[in-house]
Structure 1
Amino acid sequence: MPRRPSLCLALLLLFSLPHAVLADFSLDLPDGERLDVRVWGEDNTGPLFVWLINQYGETEGPHNLARRLAERNATVWQVDLLDSLLLQRSNEVVRNLDGAPVAALLHEAVDSGRGPIVVTTCDRMTVPLLRGLRAWQEEATDMNAVAGGILFFPNLYRGTPVAGEEPELLGIVSATNMPLAILQPELGTNRPRLEALLATLHRAGSPAYGWLVDSVRDYYLLRSVEPEAVELEAMGGPIPFDVTRAILDTPTQLLAATRLLAQTPRPDRPAPLDEEAEAPVLPAFGLVERPAYDPPGYDLVDARGVRHQHTESLGRVTLVNFWATWCPPCVHEIPSMNRLAAAYPEDEFAIVSINFRESPAHVLNFMEDVNVDFPVLMDEDGAVSGEWRVFAFPSSFLLDRQGRVRYSVNTAIEWDTDEVREVIDRLRAEDTY
C-alpha cells in the first residue's frame, strides 16, 4: 500500500487548489445567440483548451481539472453550449446540435493568438465537437491554427439501436479528418467498439490516436460525492481509488495529447459529409418483436459460483437481461422482474441476468441491499455482452422455448404488466418443434 499516502495528499490538493485567474467573457454568434465562456489561466502562455461542458451541466470535476491545467500554464475556456443556447439537456438535442457555435469558439481562439488550440469534451457532446471542427475547417485560412480534438469516452452513434443490433456511427465521423485523441475508459461500455471507431476515422483521413484509461468506467471525470445532476446520481458517493488516480493523471494526459496533436499534420480541406447519415435514429421503446434467431448463447458462472449455460433455457420461455449495478434504470426494473418470475412455474418461465464487467464480490454486496430472485451471471470481461451486441444498459432478450430470440428491449420497463405477460403466455403456448 505504499502509494496511498501520496495519492491521498494529491487528492487533498485536488479539491483545495487555489482558484486560478478567472476572466469570463461572452461571444456573440451570427444568429444573435451568445455563448458565455469561463476562462481559467487567462495570463498563461501554454496551450488553450476549448472545453465543452457535458450535457448534464457543470460539475466540480471539470472545474478542478481546469484549475489544475491553469496551474500548469494552460488556458481553459469552458462553455456550456446547452445552457448558453437555452436548450434542453437531452440526448436528442445534443445529437442535433450543429457545429456553428463550436466553430465560432475556435475562430475566437485562433484570433486570441494562443496555441496550440485543442477542443475537448466527453460522451455525446463529442458530436457537436466534431461538427464544429469541420465547420471551422470550411472557413479557416490556416488549417494549422487548431491542433485538433481530445474526446473522452465519445458517444458518436446515431442513437440506441434495437437490442441485438449494432449501432451506426453518425455521418460526421466519416467526415472528420482533423487529428484526434480518444481517451477510452478500459471498463467503458463502448470499449469493444474503439477499434472500429478509430478505423472509420482513419478511413476519413483523420490521424486519430486511442488511449485506454486503466480500470475506470465512463463518466469517471464526472464523479462526485454529491452529484448535482439527477442523471449522475449513480456516480455519487466515495470516489474509488482507481478513479482518483485516473483523474489525477488527466492533466498530464491532456498536455501530452496536445503536444502529439500539435505535431501531427493537418489536412488541407475538410472531408465530404454524407448528410443522410447525420440523421439520428429514434429509440425503440418497449418489447420489440424480432424475426426468430439463435443467439450467441452463454456459459458463465453466477455470483455464487454456479455455472449456467444457454441450453438451460430450452423448453421454457426465458428472459435474458444484461445490466450493471451502476445503471439506475437497471436497478429500477429488478423488483418488477422479481414479481414476473414469481408469477410462473420455474419450468415454464425463467429469468437469467448477465452482469457487465463487475466482480462477484461487488454484486454479492449489492444483493445484500437489493433483493434479486434470479441468477446473476458474471460477464467479467464483457465478451458475452459484446457477442449479444448489447449497446445500452439495460438490454433484454425474450427467448422462446427453443431458445431463440423473439423479442428484445433496449430500455428499462415494468416487467409485470399485462402486455408482457400476454407475450410470455403466447410464447409458452407455442409448440417446441
Structure 2
Amino acid sequence: MRFYLCLLSLLVAPVFASELAEPLFLDTGAEIPIERYSGADAAHTRVLWLPSEEGLQSRELAVARELAATGPSVWAADLHTAYFLAAARTSLEQVPVEDVVSLIEAAAADVQQLFLFTSGRGAALALQAARAWQLEHPGSERLAGAVLVHPNLQKGLPEPGEPPSYRPVTTATNLPIYLFQPGLSAKRWHLSDLARGLASGGSDLFQHFLPSVSDGFMNREQPDDAERAMNQQMPALIARAVRLLEPYAGPRQAPALVGSDDVDAEAGLAAGLRPYTGDPAPPELNLPGLQGETFDLQSYEGRVVLVNFWATWCPPCVHEIPSLGRLQEQFEEQGFSVLAVDVGEDEVTVRRFLEKRPVAFPVLLDLAGEAVNAWNVSAFPTNFLIDAQGRIRYSYYGALEWDAPEVVAIVKKLLAEMHEPAR
C-alpha cells in the first residue's frame, strides 16, 4: 500500500485517431454501443472508458480520441444508450454489474493490459465490476489498474455535520489507481479519507491535484478558459497516468467486501430546512474577514446565526446569495445574522467575485479548509441555523430560497424564543 502525489503540468497538441462505432454483444446478452479508437500500442494496452452518471459527452470523447493517439486503444462504452438511461445522479445504479464484468472480459481479451477510466459516480460501478472480474480470474495480470477523475464513492448523501461514509467497494479494491482531483470541489477537503479507504484494500494510489477546475470539467457544455485548457492537457495526463501504473500491475486477489454495496436510489435532497440531529454544540468558527477583522462565532451568542459554507465557483451557492441577503435585511435588527464562510479561495478571488455580486453580510475566509473539516462539510452549499443559545437547530445541504415563507417561519420561531422566559 503506497501513496503518491503527482503535480504535473503538460501541454498537448491536437492529434487524431481512427475510430469505429459499433455495438458489442456481451456474453450476458447485453448490447453495448462502443466508440473504438485505435492507437499505435493497441496490441499491448487498452483503456476501457466508462461514463459518469451524466453519460458519455462529446467533449470527453474528444479526449478519448486524442488519448488513443498517444498509444493505447480506447473503448468508450455508451452505457446510457444501452440501458435507455437519462443523465441523473443514480443513473448508473441501473446498470447490471455482471454486464460490466462481461465488458471488461471482452475489452481485455486481445491485449496484455487493460486499464479502466471513469469519473464521478462511474467509479463505484467500475470498481465493483473490477473486483467481480478479479474473483472470476484469480491471479490474472490483464486488468492492470484504474484512472479515476473526481471519483464519487460516497454511500448516499451525507447529513450536514456528519463525515462522509464510503461504499464498501472503496476498501475492497486493490488495483493500482491514479486519481485526479479538481481543486474547486468540496470533495478535495475529504480526499485524505477517501485515499486511506482505497489504500487500505492494497491499492497503490497516485493522487494528482488539478487546482483550477471543478468536478465535471470534462463534460461542461460551456467550459471556462481554465476548463478548456485542462481538457487539452487531459489526453497527455491520462496517458502518463497509464504509463505510471503499468509497472504496478500484477496478480492480485480481490479483497473481502464488508457490508452491502447497494445504494438507495430513491435517496435525495431534503425539501427544506431539517431539524439538526447531530451534536448541537457547534465546532469552533474563528476566521478572518475581508477587512482584516476576525469573526468568532462565540461572539454572536444571543443572536440567531445562519452559518453558510460556500465557494464562488459553486452555482447553487451563487444562486442563493440574493435570498440570503434579503433574509439578513429582513431580520438583522431583530437579532439575526448571516456568516458566509468561503472555503479554499484567496482574498483576491473572493473580492473580485463580490465586486460583481456585493453582499450585506460578512464573508469569512477559510483558505486552508480548517473550518470545513471541523464542521464536516461534504458539499456546497451547506448551512447551519444556530439559535440564540448557541445550539445548532436546523441544517440544510443545497441551495434554498432563504426568504421563502417556510424558512422565514423557522427564523421567526427562533427569534421569538429569545424573548421567552428561561425555563
Tell me the TM-score normalized by structure 2.
0.87
Matched, 1:114 2:111: yes
For structure 1, the 5+ residue unaligned runs are 1-6, 228-232
Alignment of 1:24-63 (within 5 A): 24-30=21-27, 32-41=29-38, 44-45=41-42, 46-63=44-61
Residue in structure 2 matching 1:215, options 207, 211, 214: 211
Partner of 2:338: 351
- How far has the Cα of 1:252 moved from its partner? 4.0
Structure with more relative contact order (C-alpha pairs < 8 Å, separation 6 or more): 2
**Counterpart mapping for 1:11-410 below 5 A:** 13-14=13-14, 17=15, 19-30=16-27, 32-41=29-38, 44-45=41-42, 46-95=44-93, 97-111=95-109, 113-140=110-137, 143-204=140-201, 206-219=202-215, 221-222=217-218, 227=221, 236-237=223-224, 239-240=225-226, 246-264=230-248, 266=250, 268-280=252-264, 282-285=267-270, 286-291=272-277, 293-346=280-333, 348-410=335-397
- 1:271 Cα deviation (Å)? 2.5
What is the root-mean-square deviation in Å for CA atoms of aligned residues? 2.7
Using the alignment, how far apart are the partners of 1:346 and 1:80 within structure 2? 56
**Whole-Å separation in 2 of the counterparts to 1:167 and 1:280:** 16
CA distance in 2 between counterparts of 1:61 and 1:366 reads 28
CA distance in 1, matches of 2:328, 2:214: 32
Deviations 1:357-413 (A, max 9, x none): 122222222223324221121212222111111111110000011222111101111
CA contact (8 A) 2:37 2:73 kept: yes
Decide whether the 8 Å contact of 1:99 with 1:130 is kept in 2: no
C-alpha contact (below 8 Å) 2:25/2:32 kept by paired residues: yes
- Post-superposition offset of 1:170: 0.9
**Cα distance, 1:25 vs structure 2:** 2.4
> Per the alignment, in what secondary structure is the counterpart of residue 168 of structure 2?
coil
- What is the alpha-carbon distance in structure 2 between the residues aligned to residue 346 and residue 306 of structure 1? 22
Please state how far the C-alpha of 1:188 moved relative to its aligned partner.
Answer: 3.3
TM-score normalized by the length of structure 1: 0.85
Hey, what does 1:3 align to over in structure 2?
none
Q: Give the distance between the partners of 2:195 and 2:264, measured in 1 at CA.
A: 21
Question: 3-state DSSP class of the match of 1:350?
Answer: strand
Counterpart amino acid of 2:129?
Answer: G
Residue by residue over 1:63-86, the C-alpha shift from the partner in whole angstroms, topping out at 9 and shown as x without a partner, is 332233222222111123223211
Counterpart of 1:174, as a letter, is T
CA distance in 2 between counterparts of 1:94 and 1:158 reads 14
What's the secondary structure of 1:50's corresponding residue? strand
SS in 2 for 1:211: strand
Would the alpha carbon gap of residues 185 and 345 (structure 1) be closer, same or farther in structure 2, given more than 3 Å must change? Answer: closer
Deviates more, 1:50-59 or 1:393-402: 50-59
1:91 corresponds to which letter in structure 2? R
Using the aligned pairs only, state the percent identity.
30
How many correspondences in the alignment? Answer: 408
